[in-house]
A = this chain, B = another copy of it.
Amino acid sequence: MIIVMKPNAKVESIQRIKGIIEENGLNAHISDGQEVTIIGVVGDKAKLIDQNLEIYDDVDKVVPVTESYKLANKKFHPEPSKVKVGDITIGADTLVIMSGPCAVESKEQLLDTAHAIKKAGAHILRGGAYKPRTSPYAFQGLEEEGLAYMKEAREETGLPVVCEVTSLDAIEVAVKYVDMLQIGARNMQNFYLLKEVGKTGLPVLLKRGLSATIDEWLNASEYIIAEGNPNVVLCERGIRTFETATRNTLDISAVPVIKSKSHLPIIIDPSHATGVRDYVKSLSLAAVAVGADGLMIETHPDPSRAWSDGPQSLTFNQFEDLTKDLAPLANLMGKKL
């Protein structure tokens, strides 16, 4: 941590800051510049996290120099993490494909989808049983009934299943049915929920918030890991920008940034990122090329009849075409599909 003083800061102001730093058992290194004085803090800055050094007289700004997340930080855990979901490993040599409908609508819809995506080479079945929807009048999900279908689909196909949870109630039900819990974009900073999924020990798919910085996202993962659950997979799904040609803006750079800052695996969801079916294939190819550990792709037996997010869902044929096109690229990038 560096404290930059204002030009012409009074000596007493500088001494006061130095005193606070030392009271906290840290050392202060003072550099008197021609324009400003800078104070470097030496020691574990966590002790200062709830101090408000900006508030003192003559302090211009406080610049953090180390990240506040530790357990998710590559500096302290240089090896890439592998996360097991059922018998699938994310972050290893397989390009992991998760697929399925945005919302579970019926047993038939889900089982048809599960069989179709398995045949096309997918590894994990996704499906929403608790749906966060902008309007209270839109379909909100089948809840436990939907989870039961998910479990049944796993039993029929062997595919592990992942499902979003939106409350403690949902978690308590979901742990009985699913292999992986998903935290959706709108709940990325629902810290209460993060702690609760942390406590379950189940692998967690943590989607990036619509306007979350990468730093905030890694801090969110820290909430889960700090509960003793290191099984976190990140999912980039587009951020909110001024551009309206796509539903969100896929921040593909997040993959190399995350790989340089954290050891956690990261996958990409091009379906939510664009909201447009026609763009899903090219963005999936880009995701593999950029080094993502996997993909999450929405599929539906009849997208035009989907109860949620139909415009971005692929038909089974389209999905099969997609995995065929992805395979040689995955191989080129040193991954299996």
Contact = CB atoms under 8 A, between A and B. Distances in A.
Interface of A: 2, 4, 7, 29, 31-36, 38, 40-44, 46, 49-50, 52, 54-56, 60-61, 63, 65-66, 68-69, 75, 132-140, 166-170, 186-187, 189-193, 195, 210-211, 213-216, 219, 222-223, 226, 239-246, 249-257, 260-261, 273-274, 277-279, 282-283, 285-291, 303-311, 313, 328-329, 332-333
Given A43-B33, A66-B36, A136 B191 contact: yes
Nearest to A214: B245
A4 B4 CA distance: 14
Query: How many identical chains are in the complex?
Result: 4
Given A132-B191, A241-B251, 6 more contacts: A2-B4, A31-B40, A36-B66, A134-B216, A245-B254, A250-B253
A68 B286 contact: no
Contact of A223 (B136, B193, B244): B136
Nearest to A131: B191
Contact of A285 (B54, B187, B226, B290): B290
Contact of A245 (B4, B29, B257): B257
B243 A239 contact: yes
Contacts of A222: 135-136
Contact of A137 (B46, B244, B260): B46
Contacts of A255: 282
Contacts of A135: 49, 68-69, 219, 222
Contacts of A69: 135
A255 B250 CA distance: 12
A60 B65 contact: yes
